[in-house]
Structure 1
Amino acid sequence: MNATPKQIAELAAYAMRVEQRKEETKAGNAYVNVPAAPSESTPVRQLGFTRIGEMTGIEATSWLIKPVPEANSLVEMFGDPEVGKSFMAIDMTCSVGTGTPWHGKRVKQGAVFYIAGEGMNNIRKRFHAWGVHHDVNLSDAPIFLSDRSAQLMSLDEADSVATTIGQMADAAGVMPALIVIDTLARNMGGDENSTADMSQFINAIDGALKHRFNACVLVIHHSGITDKNRGRGSTALKAGVDAEYQLTRGDDGVIRLTCLKMKDAAHPEPMAFTSRVIDLGVVDEDGDPVTSLALQSEEYEQREAPRYPRGDTQKLVYEAVKQRLIVSTDFGKGHSPGANVKSGVWAADSVRLQAASFC
């Protein structure tokens, strides 16, 4: 008897909890408190092996958007607030749902299920803006938007969400190609800093969504608080995904998408975008036009990312120097370089004063 995706996820979560308890046990202790295993009624599949010489045929990579996310993959995309994460997710969603090339890249068309956590009215505006910008009617597109967030760390809820997606896909006669979770914080239902909780979340969506539908599951997440070059919370997320992308917005307003992890293929080239204001064709109570934004691709130009302090000593020096420069009456005079104090990073005649240099 084959195990269900939920049962597979339960076994994987159990194994993760066992390992975590072992790690937490101090060296020399003879007793390890192992959590209870799933019930005996849960079927356990026998482990099998195949001789490598008997494996024939190599399957080509199946891309959802070539060469960005693969089909049947778990992808994380993170960035700071207001950097454009939801706009990027909606941009990909509409391209996949309509079969429209994504900024010149080939797309595998399929149904998209968007699990939103907040701002339903604004999300609808963003979808409409995409349709206006690309002159594509979304009314018949197989794109489905949730009416609430989901607590996907719960194996029962993840299985319930999967059941709903399966029923709607069957009724529409389509197969889910992309499932968007926007954002992790709104749709997890646990502590994102906990390795155990994050691992259970990954196992749940991996089994209930990715493997059940052979779909790409795109998880939208926030940047770390001190380290902006990683997702917030437990590093189990990056370890568990197939691909990871960082989204940044520079002082020039350009949004940059950079691949930080691609498990089974070469990292695609980074991409650049700008946002364009779109008139939605309606007005508010004062007669002002209602607008939203849509992304348009631009030529990518490499920019040096500012480095920020990470250690406690670096942060102390960083804050001390910053305050001195802010109140200084001599900085920028005589032979001293001029200053552009913005976001805690100073540009001085092509010389950057960065906290990382105080190591």
Structure 2
Amino acid sequence: MENSLNLLSYTDMCNLPEPEWLVEGLIQKRSTAVMFGKSNAFKSFLAIDIGLSVDTGQDWHGNPVSPGGVLFVATEGANGVGRLRIPGWYDHHRIDEGDRRAFLYPKEIRLDVVDDITALIAAMNIRGNFALVVIDIFGGSMAGSEIEDKTARAWVHGVQRILRETGASILTVAHTGWQDDSRARMHTHFWGSFDTRLKVEGDKEALTATLTVERHKDADSTGSWGFRLVQSHGTLVPEMDTSVKSTAAKKTALSAKNRAALNALDDAIVEHGVRKLGSDWPPCNVVMIDHWRRHFYLHSADDTAEAKRKAFQRARDALREHGHVQFYDDHAWRCAG
């Protein structure tokens, strides 16, 4: 029978492989990640730094990498990326000419169009095995609008096809909204589809940036790194600086249960989130607290309904007290920052 479905038995489920890291603590193999932040936060320089660490097999600032081929899809500023930024990084790190193996696609691409996905996979297969594709910037990677459900679903299907057929991870660079910097500017279906979300905060005047793990779906969601951008070989290259701290790192650390509650809120917003109009509402999607509570219960390890209820109430109140969430009229949302 053609196109038969492969159903996993209980034994098959238990034998599924553990996720492997492409960059330890940052990006897993065969996964999708989004790196988001405001304009001029040095996102592109950090993405190049990550990608070329994979390309050369060098540790990423002390974090081991699994080396492999890397493709940069530069949907804007491709000339500067290919002529200055990538060569400058190689020169700064004294990489031999023969070990400079990264590839560049210097145009916009439509990952929500089947023919474009087919062409990209074919080009990647001709060039060899790729471990990572860096898409910079998100807004130039689709034919439709980044706020349309139809575009989001087609784009996610296209990216998942790249993962299946090439084995490469996908790192997408995206801007945050003007009023809400707590998430990338995109439809919630995009936002909820990424296995990893990485937040970048930059100071253009000080030439500093931080990168913080906002969420891993299948790993501990911790990790924050500070960088100073140094002028080198006609470009800027990130060098780790432990004195540079992110806003998120300065906030009160979340307990495991509070982190689980925040992740449950993200899931509820993706599934049930709506935009409310009026001066009392934020410029982002909100969700009914009952929907948030149900998602929290799904992942709660507490034995009884009463224990689950109390755990949710404690987590909800703690997140509000520390400025992570806000409520109005039986609805909740994530606060910016």
TM-score scaled to structure 2, two decimals?
0.70
Q: Distance in 1 between matches of 2:31 and 2:164?
A: 9
2:166 is aligned with what amino acid? F
Q: How far off its partner does 1:253 sit?
A: 4.3
Alignment partner, residue 109 of structure 2: 150
Structure with greater Cα Rg: 1
Q: How far off its partner does 1:202 sit?
A: 1.1
Q: Any conservation in 2 of the 1:110–1:142 contact (CA below 8 Å)?
A: no
Q: Distance in 2 between matches of 1:54 and 1:128?
A: 46
Q: Any conservation in 2 of the 1:202–1:237 contact (CA below 8 Å)?
A: yes
Alignment partner, residue 194 of structure 2: 241
Residues 1:215 and 2:158 are matched in the alignment? no
Alignment partner, residue 71 of structure 2: 113
Alignment partner, residue 192 of structure 1: 146
Q: How far off its partner does 1:114 sit?
A: 0.9
Q: Any conservation in 2 of the 1:114–1:146 contact (CA below 8 Å)?
A: yes
1:256 is aligned with what amino acid? T
Alignment partner, residue 297 of structure 1: 240
Which blocks of at least 5 consecutive residues in structure 1 are unaligned? 3-44, 170-174, 281-290, 317-353
Alignment partner, residue 269 of structure 1: 223
Q: How far off its partner does 1:54 sit?
A: 5.4
Alignment partner, residue 272 of structure 2: none
Alignment partner, residue 165 of structure 1: 124
Q: How far off its partner does 1:121 sit?
A: 2.6
SS of residue paired to 1:64:
strand
Q: Let me know the Cα RMSD of the aligned residues.
A: 2.8
Alignment partner, residue 313 of structure 1: 279
Alignment partner, residue 286 of structure 1: none
Any idea what the Cα deviations from partners look like across 1:101-128, whole Å, max 9, x if unmatched? Answer: 1101101110001111122231131112
SS of residue paired to 1:76:
strand
Residues 1:91 and 2:91 are matched in the alignment? no
Which residue of 231, 252, 276 maps to 2:184? 231
SS of residue paired to 1:313:
coil
1:150 is aligned with what amino acid? I
SS of residue paired to 2:122:
helix
1:166 is aligned with what amino acid? N
Residues 1:61 and 2:19 are matched in the alignment? yes
Q: Any conservation in 2 of the 1:68–1:268 contact (CA below 8 Å)?
A: no
Any idea what the Cα deviations from partners look like across 1:9-68, whole Å, max 9, x if unmatched? Answer: xxxxxxxxxxxxxxxxxxxxxxxxxxxxxxxxxxxx344533314555352321110111
Which blocks of at least 5 consecutive residues in structure 2 are unaligned? 252-275, 283-322, 329-337
1:118 is aligned with what amino acid? E
Q: Any conservation in 1 of the 2:20–2:28 contact (CA below 8 Å)?
A: yes
Alignment partner, residue 84 of structure 2: 125
Any idea what the Cα deviations from partners look like across 1:183-237, whole Å, max 9, x if unmatched? Answer: 1111212100112211211111111x11111111111111123211101021111
Alignment partner, residue 204 of structure 1: 158
Q: Distance in 2 between matches of 1:245 and 1:138?
A: 31
Any idea what the Cα deviations from partners look like across 1:269-304, whole Å, max 9, x if unmatched? Answer: 1111110011x2xxxxxxxxxx21100011153536
* Number of residues of Structure 1 aligned to a counterpart in Structure 2: 258
Residues 1:71 and 2:44 are matched in the alignment? no
SS of residue paired to 1:131:
helix
Change (3 A) 1:54 1:83: closer
Any idea what the Cα deviations from partners look like across 1:310-356, whole Å, max 9, x if unmatched? Answer: 9853799xxxxxxxxxxxxxxxxxxxxxxxxxxxxxxxxxxxxx9x9
1:229 is aligned with what amino acid? S
Relative to its length, the structure with more helix (as a share) is 2
Change (3 A) 1:48 1:120: closer
SS of residue paired to 1:230:
coil
Q: How far off its partner does 1:132 sit?
A: 2.5
